[in-house]
Amino acid sequence: MSGFFLVHKLALSKYLFYNIILARDYLLNHAKYPQLNKEINELAQQKGVTDTAIAVAWILRHPANIQVIVGTTNKERLAQMTKATNTMLTREEWYKLYCAAGNVLP
């Protein structure tokens, strides 16, 4: 399936990934992922945005050029998420969050 997307230059949507992996009700501020939340909160504070903006910025920085589909009707959350477009994560910051989520680099 991924070959199809590469050949036709379609951007993959990570709506499901965001809802399952990074959404506030699942991982953000979840006691099961203290290291990830610590890193997200530190980055949010450094960059002057919310944890939600950092989560969206992480998806936008993904090397596969993934697009985010926002599933909220809450104006405040939408405003938080739009700040992600101006929040640049360095490669080091991106991988730090990736590893803090329990992923291991090869």
Domain assignment present for 32 = yes
Q: Please name every residue paired with 13 in a beta bridge, in sequence order, or none if there are none.
A: 67
Domain-located, residue 81: yes
- Is residue 95, in this structure, part of any structural domain at all? yes
Give the integer Cα–Cα distance in Å for 82 and 105.
29
* Rg value, the chain, Cα: 14
**Structural domain that includes position 61:** 10-100
Count structural domains, the chain: 1
Q: Is residue 4 part of a domain?
A: no
pTM, rounded to two decimals:
0.73
User: What does each C-alpha distance from 85 to 16, 52, 92 come to in angstroms?
Assistant: 19, 12, 18
64 token code pair: 């596969």
Residue 106 lies in a domain: no
Assigned domain for 70 exists: yes
Domain presence at residue 5:
no
pLDDT tens digits for range 73-95: 888 888 888 899 999 999 999 99
**pLDDT value at position 6?**
42
pLDDT, tens digit, 9 for 90 and up, residues 15-58 = 444 443 454 445 677 777 889 899 999 999 999 999 989 988 99
Report if residue 3 sits inside a domain. Answer: no
Q: What are phi and psi of 17, to 5 degrees?
A: -60, -45
> In the prediction, which pLDDT does 5 show?
41
